[in-house]
Amino acid sequence: MIRKLEKVLCAALLGLCLLPLISFGAHAEIISTQEAVAMESGQSLAQVETWLQRDDVVAELAALGVDPDLARIRAEALSPAELDELAHRIDEMPAGAGVIEVLGITFLVLIILEIVGVTNIFNR
């Protein structure tokens, strides 16, 4: 029991020690080139830093079935502009899927047309 308490206390202490490091690391010491590019296209640094935290994009990807650890890795590779797009318009954005889905939907349309009686492909 005491051991357990010790462990918990140790972890808490370690966490407290690391806290300033984490908040310091939230933005790097210098302005990154990516941030400077975003600022030149009219974004504020605060806005860019919010995007770069990436939490909402990680959550979006995870909600769409991406493994949460993988979602974090994937979000780390995105630029501020891409993060902004994904955070706000992920459902409206093109997601290349391919020919097979097209065939599937075409088939569905044909069936509907057949049932409604517009076409007679399957029923000659």
Give the interface with other proteins as residue ranges (CB under 8 A): 27, 29-37, 39-40, 44-46, 61, 63-66, 70, 73-74, 76-79, 82, 85-86, 90, 93-102, 105
Helix (H) or strand (E) holding 47: helix 45-53
**What does the alpha-carbon distance between residue 87 and residue 10 come to, in Å, rounded to a whole number?**
37
Smallest gap from Cβ 124 to other proteins, in A, equals 25
- Cβ contacts of 81 within 8 Å, gap of 6 or more: 38
Smallest gap from Cβ 44 to other proteins, in A, equals 5
Smallest gap from Cβ 119 to other proteins, in A, equals 17
Q: Whose Cβ is closer to other proteins: residue 22's or residue 92's?
A: 92
- 8 Å CB contact between 113 and 119: yes
Q: Whose Cβ is closer to other proteins: residue 66's or residue 114's?
A: 66
Residue closest to 35 by CA, chosen among 53, 49, 50: 49
Smallest gap from Cβ 84 to other proteins, in A, equals 10
